[in-house]
Chains A and B, each alone.
Chain A
Amino acid sequence: MSALLQAELLKLRTTRTFVALVAAALALSLLVVVLVSILADEFNDNDVRNLFTADFTGLFIVLLGVIGMAGEWRHRTITSTVLAAPDRIRLLAAKMLSYAAAGALLSLIVTLTIMLVGTVILSLRDKETADLADLVDVLWRNLLVAALVGALGVGIGAVVRNQVAAIIGVLFAAFVLEPTLLGLAPDYGRFGPTQGAPSGIIQVAGFDGEDTENLLAPGVAVLVMLGWIGAFFAAAAARLRGGDLV
């Protein structure tokens, strides 16, 4: 398994996709943090904490996982991948684990960067800043979410296989379906894999005026995410195990 993990991580490092997604996630997250840190007047402890969860790694990581797995079919490299690692279930598991690790790494880079930049700007403006305990709390939650959605993305890519359809589906779920459900039927929306459950882990509902009472408790949210990952893993494994690669 360790050889498979190393190979998948090497695959990630040897294309421009990972670097491009890190850069995009970092740029977008920094843009939000810089603008809010500079322009917002009133800050309390919770607002600062929310500010540092404004990294976009979750979305980028789920897309990275989708691209990484569905890309095996798009570029028709799945054949050579399976020839090198004929145990398809181990291969799928290794891919999920490696993208979870990559997600955590990407989130680490982005979260530390926005924490540093945001804290510097807020300090220069004599605004409230988060203490170290709060920063650490935000950091591990971000890393956990990034790892989980990385694995989820691989599962989605392995089930859908058509890269474009999978990406459109994820974006639709993240920007349309789940926000709508969270607004209209939060009892259902909070179980969603791209917004609802991750928000429960991070325990962020939004700035001023919103609270976290509609969110799942962090532990429950983690279990829900693991459930989604398990479901996609099982569906993907069934497709992979029985399918012909022609």
Chain B
Amino acid sequence: MAPVEIRGLSKRFGNVLAVNDLSFDIDAGRVTGFLGPNGAGKSTSLRALLGLVRPTSGTATFGGRRYEELQRPSTKVGAVLEDASFHPGRTGRNHLRVLAVTGRHPPERVDVVLDTVGLTAAADRRVKGYSMGMRQRLAIASALLGDPEVLILDEPTNGLDPPGIAWMRGMLREQASRGRAVLVSSHLLAEVAQSVDDVVVISGGQMRGHGTLEQVLGGDEGPATQVRSQDDQRLARALQAAGHDVTALAAGGGLIVPGVSPQDVGVIAHDAGIYLVALGQQSRSLEQAFFALTGGESIA
């Protein structure tokens, strides 16, 4: 059972079907990017997952249980929502102390997560004096307080400066490397491309694409391989004999072999006794993949 399972999730607000029959899993030890244009239903989906919005139909569960059914939910799921807000008159440390008491976490965790997000020096300042980036770090500290198995982050890089974004990227990877399942929505495609293992693309409330980053970047046939050799015509024949489609690029550009890994192309070339000059994977950029999947809608 995946740590997060979404099955047939739909949410209607009046006449608007915000989320329509969404189904996907989030796996442990992986970072999953959740992409979609404005109004695609990303935030509604995340809020339904967290029990803040009641689904019209379908389920969203953590280890088979709805968020509301979790015992001490902050030990299972940490969440940062896009509009994370704090009482302006409370200090960052006291905000975390309140959450620690609610979740029955040891008080020492407050100092640990403050250190993790780099807010120790500002911990005793009132939140109203925080920059947007500091508030975002405080929200992340709140999510990490219970050392949860699942992290859900809605636009977590909002307000972060470049070092903060780099820190966030490292934090996401580190959480995944510790076996956490991480779901992160973002409008920064380049940022997502550097951070995620899997991608879920939605538009108009519906799933448009789902798979590993390589699969999504590779389109329907998966990633393609671009190869140049001492004799491209011979290599093309060898590849076709092995059952692969081959597209020849303009003079000297080599060959494109869709749906085949560079390793397999290398083996075929070796078996045919052909020396290779260049060999590598050819992918669409995430932006190209996104536009292809969403029909060219601008991204949120």
Contacts and interface: CB of A to CB of B under 8 A. Distances in A.
B133 interface: no
Contact of B102 (A7, A244, A246): A7
A123 interface: no
B74 interface: yes
A99 to B, nearest CB: 15
Contacts of B50: 83
B106 interface: no
Given A75-B85, A80-B85, A245 B47 contact: yes
Q: How large is the interface on B (under 10, 10 to 19, 20 to 34, 35 or more residues)?
A: 20 to 34
By CB atoms of chain B within 10 A, which of A7, A84, A242 has the most? Answer: A84
Interface of A: 3-4, 6-7, 10-11, 14-17, 71, 75-77, 79-80, 82-87, 242, 244-246
B89 A79 contact: no
B85 A3 contact: no
B68 interface: yes
7 contacts: A6-B101, A10-B98, A79-B52, A79-B85, A84-B103, A86-B67, A86-B73
Nearest to A16: B89
B102 A79 contact: no
Contacts of B51: 82, 86
Contact of A77 (B47, B70, B87): B87
Contact of B85 (A10, A14, A76, A246): A76
Interface string B30-57: 0000000000000010010011111000
Contact of A75 (B52, B53, B87, B142): B87
B73 A14 contact: no
A77 to B, nearest CB: 6
A79 B97 contact: no
Interface stretch (B76-84, B111-119, B180-188, B281-289): B76-84
A217 B99 CA distance: 43
A15 B87 contact: yes
Nearest to A84: B102
B44 A246 contact: yes
Contacts of B73: 83-84, 86
A87 to B, nearest CB: 7
> Would you list the 5 A-B pairs with minimal beta carbon distance, nearest first?
A76-B85, A14-B94, A7-B102, A245-B52, A84-B102
B81 A79 contact: yes
A85 B67 CA distance: 10
